[in-house]
Amino acid sequence: MILKLTNAAVNYQAKPILINTDHIISIFEDEIDEKPVTIIYSMTKETWHVEETVNTIYNQIKRSTI
């Protein structure tokens, strides 16, 4: 499944990002410049910083599997 999320990385803020859920290992919340972000870590050792919360991402994945 592909998730469409909102990039939170400094040079790409507010731009859409598509992430293949088959590659996700972990999702956790953190802060960048005191702004809350969610970090997605992949099995290819890439990381993405997005604006959506862990719960929002989890619900998107959960809905797609029903």
What's the pLDDT score for residue 37? 96
User: What's residue 66's pLDDT?
Assistant: 60
Domain encompassing residue 49: 2-64
| Residue labelled with tokens 């719960």 | 55
- The predicted pLDDT at position 47 comes to 95
Between CA 5 and CA 3, with CA 56 as vertex, the angle to 5 degrees is: 35
Please state the pTM of the whole predicted model: 0.87
Q: Which residues pair with 47 in a beta bridge?
A: 41
Which pair of structure tokens corresponds to residue 16?
Answer: 């859409």
**What's the domain count of the chain?**
1
Distance in angstroms (rounded) separating the CA atoms of residues 20 and 39: 14
Q: Looking at residue 16, what is its pLDDT?
A: 98
What are 32's two structure tokens? Answer: 């960048």
**10-64 pLDDT per residue, tens:** 899 999 999 999 999 999 999 988 999 999 999 999 999 999 999 999 999 988 7
